[in-house]
Structure 1
Amino acid sequence: MDILSGASIGMHFRHVIEFFDCVVDGVSNGMINYDLRKRNGVIEQDPLAASRRILELRNWIQEQHEDKALELQSDMCEGDTFLGSGVRSSYNRELIYAIEHAIHHMAIIKIAVINSFPDLQLEPNFGVAFSTVRYRESACAQ
């Protein structure tokens, strides 16, 4: 899609799902590296596969009841110099990051839907940060 610089809505959903998959893997092995995520073309091309994975992730998240220490690794380069880094993090912190990252991509998806599928109606708060929703609600109440 031109509005998405050549990307598709499916690509954005795949990207979001894979960040949550990184959190799942991180809880299993104690380390998260979003740069090493698996790029699953099936999720990108098949809305039912994406929907199934989202439901699996939701169920997995609901089963998590404790925070866990994690190491966040990132592959950063400056020119030709590799600057690998590791930072202490936690499951709760990375879950919040994945949620905020998802909302950011939902906002991008919303732009594409409005421009390319004007008859498709999304929820008014689709792609809107929780803090923005609360702010708007409090501003309307005044």
Structure 2
Amino acid sequence: MKQLVISSINHNLNNAIALLKAIDTSTYQNNSVGPYYSSIGSHIRHTLDFFDCIISGLDSNNIDLTARKRDELLATNKEVAIEYIYKLQETLVSYIDVNTGYLIHVTDNMGKGKVTVNYTLESILLHANSHAVHHYATIGYILDRLGVRIEIPEFGYNPTTPINKREGI
């Protein structure tokens, strides 16, 4: 199961790489689209922050999703983001043979303060992947508003979305 989870995440991360290679820096950094005025780069950085929190907290068994680094270089420099994704993919693959049959403490802020719950590695990775897909959908919206057309099948769609409704960007 862990191999399938990591393979699926890496497939989605490959879609992000394809996107970053297909757009120019100006598009990556453009924050002119309302209502949130966030850039594609800020969404990529945010999804990578989520994975970084997992990796950073795994050894201590204390993943804090509120302790994001918010590295602006990832949000503004797509080449740096691509390199980060490649390293992230290598790290994820290294987890395939690691014992993960234990509970991991995961902390997040649900709007009323921090709360810590137990996850398995697979469940937090599933959460991170769904989180990335959600932000990919927002990226698709930004690209549409900017008038940028790129074809990356299934980008921004949850795999449970019926195939005839998945167009990608």
TM-score, length basis structure 1: 0.83
**Contact 2:33–2:146, Cα closer than 8 Å, also in 1:** no
Unaligned runs of 5+ in 1: 138-142
CA distance in structure 1 between the partners assigned to 2:69 and 2:41 by the alignment: 15
Q: 1:34 aligns with which of 48, 62, 65?
A: 65
TM-superposed CA distance for 1:107, in Å, is: 0.4
The structure having more radius of gyration, on CA atoms, is 1
Q: 1:103 aligns with which of 117, 133, 144?
A: 133
**Number of corresponding residues:** 130
Q: Could you say which structure has the higher helix fraction? A: 1
**Secondary structure in 2 matching 1:73:** strand
Taking only aligned residues, the RMSD between alpha carbons, in angstroms, comes to: 1.7
CA distance in structure 1 between the partners assigned to 2:123 and 2:75 by the alignment: 26
Task: State the identity %.
Answer: 25
TM-score, length basis structure 2: 0.70
User: Is 1:131 matched with 2:165?
Assistant: no
CA distance in structure 1 between the partners assigned to 2:135 and 2:114 by the alignment: 26
Unaligned runs of 5+ in 2: 1-31, 165-169
1:1-142 matched pairs, under 5 angstroms: 1-3=32-34, 5-65=36-96, 66-67=99-100, 68-76=102-110, 78=112, 83-118=113-148, 120-132=149-161, 135-136=162-163
